[in-house]
Amino acid sequence: MQSRSEQHHGERDTEQTLGASPAVKRRVVRMWTEAGIAAIKALPVILMVFSLAGILGWVERKGSALIQDRIGANRASIFGFAGAGLVNTLFADPLKFLTKEDIIPLRADRLLHTLAPCVSLFPVLVTFAVIPFGDVLQVGGRTINLQVAPLGIGVLYVLAMASLAVYGVVLGGWASNDRFSLMGSIRGSAQMVSYEIGMGLSLVSMVMTYGSLDLQEMVRAQGALIGGWIPAWGILYQPVAFLLFLCAGIAESKRVPFDLPEAESELVSGYFTEYSGIKHLMFFMTDFVEVTVVAALVTTIFFGGWQLPYLGRDGFHFPWGASLMLPQVIVAVLQVLTFMAKVFFFCCFQILIRWSLPRFRYDQVMRLGWKGLLPIALLNVLATAVIVLAFQG
């Protein structure tokens, strides 16, 4: 490609492409191969996310029952086997959602009413494209980076998808033609927009610490060892940013204690009151997928992602000198399992927070976002900048 001289006019290049010289053919084949590999990587990620969202529904119901000293869902059973509420949550509830009648309110905008759940679910699912779930997989002479889309601007992509998530809320409330849904949606979107800033600024300090916007680079940098013993996870460098990001993330996904937009005791279901059946299921899924997204991001940026301490690409290298060689495939599997375990831990952590804390009032939410998180995040950025410059100079 570099040998082509600059004098070729645009039209000549088009003809050459359609005529398909061997160099161009190879490029096209390589492009389709890479797209195919990305698609194959995306499939297990999507399956993992959906199954995790389903399991989280069960953890939520049974876990909350445990915390509140009651039994929880246990009525649905197949031939007497109730599976501790699994049959109820994983079979009965989805069946109920899928077979319910789809009601669109009388004067609501039909197109927007159908579009809102899709617009709500799409950005949160697509965020998983940049989250690395493993290091590399060396198979068939090819080194596959275990991240669906190796974007150089990974963190910005996450922020972009977080911004797009507001549309589901905005449209959901508006398209219901219901003043209480509209109130819930305006509160919800104002809250989401306010906490995006805190989230963005806490990520800025992490970007400064690691010097890269690419999430896979950040995770790889956390494989280093401080003093030869302690894994250099993000939380050790930036505990304040971790707290800010966790707080902002929970506020973004409108979970308790920030769930006034969907306060069950006040607004029925807030902005998705007027949705039934599959649309309600999609909004509900968005909630759990957002929990997974926040957990995955916290794991990736602050807790080492897929890094298992002392595990390198070829096996364990313990700091006291011992080492254990493992085939690369086993290492990759271990790393993926580590990632999933950490994500599951943080999902359960968020569910624990939900059932322990009371709900914030709306003005308290706004005050915390603008007068609390924003100044602290800015000071954190300033302090990080000073320290990074001091260590570089």
Binding footprint of other proteins on the chain (CB under 8 A): 1-2, 4, 6-11, 13-14, 17, 28, 109, 111-112, 151-153, 156-157, 159-160, 162-164, 166-167, 170-171, 173-174, 182, 186, 189-190, 193, 213
Report how far residue 268's alpha carbon sits from residue 136's, in angstroms, rounded to the nearest whole number.
46
Q: Provide the minimum distance between the beta carbon of 115 and other proteins in the complex, in angstroms, as a whole number.
A: 8
Q: Which two tokens stand for residue 8?
A: 């070729």
Cβ-based nearer residue to other proteins, 142 or 367: 367
Cβ-based nearer residue to other proteins, 112 or 263: 112
- Spatial CA neighbour of 56 closest among 279, 269, 286: 286
Report how far residue 287's alpha carbon sits from residue 280's, in angstroms, rounded to the nearest whole number.
11
Q: Provide the minimum distance between the beta carbon of 209 and other proteins in the complex, in angstroms, as a whole number.
A: 16
Strand partners, 145: 136
Sign of the Cα pseudo-torsion (158, 159, 160, 161, in order): positive
Cβ-based nearer residue to other proteins, 73 or 166: 166
Q: Identify residue 205 by its one-letter amino acid code.
A: S
Cβ-based nearer residue to other proteins, 157 or 306: 157
Q: How many residues does the chain have?
A: 393
Q: Provide the minimum distance between the beta carbon of 344 and other proteins in the complex, in angstroms, as a whole number.
A: 29
Q: Provide the minimum distance between the beta carbon of 7 and other proteins in the complex, in angstroms, as a whole number.
A: 7
Cβ-based nearer residue to other proteins, 164 or 278: 164
Q: Provide the minimum distance between the beta carbon of 285 and other proteins in the complex, in angstroms, as a whole number.
A: 22
Q: Provide the minimum distance between the beta carbon of 386 and other proteins in the complex, in angstroms, as a whole number.
A: 17
- Spatial CA neighbour of 187 closest among 271, 273, 102: 271
Report how far residue 386's alpha carbon sits from residue 31's, in angstroms, rounded to the nearest whole number.
43
Cβ-based nearer residue to other proteins, 54 or 150: 150
Cβ-based nearer residue to other proteins, 9 or 70: 9
- Within 10 angstroms of residue 225's Cβ, the number of other Cβ atoms is 13
Strand partners, 316: 311, 324
Burial of 303 (0-12, 13-18, 19+ CB in 10 A): buried
Burial of 86 (0-12, 13-18, 19+ CB in 10 A): middle
- Spatial CA neighbour of 336 closest among 154, 137, 181: 137
Cβ-based nearer residue to other proteins, 128 or 310: 128
- Within 10 angstroms of residue 174's Cβ, the number of other Cβ atoms is 19
Cβ-based nearer residue to other proteins, 1 or 390: 1
Cβ-based nearer residue to other proteins, 13 or 102: 13
Residues 261-293 as b/e (b if ≥16 CB within 10 A, e otherwise) read bbbeeebebbbbbbbeeebbbbbbbbbbbbbbb
Q: Provide the minimum distance between the beta carbon of 32 and other proteins in the complex, in angstroms, as a whole number.
A: 10
Q: Provide the minimum distance between the beta carbon of 156 and other proteins in the complex, in angstroms, as a whole number.
A: 4
Q: Provide the minimum distance between the beta carbon of 315 and other proteins in the complex, in angstroms, as a whole number.
A: 34
Burial of 201 (0-12, 13-18, 19+ CB in 10 A): buried
Pseudo-torsion of CA 123, 126, 130, 134, nearest 10°? 130
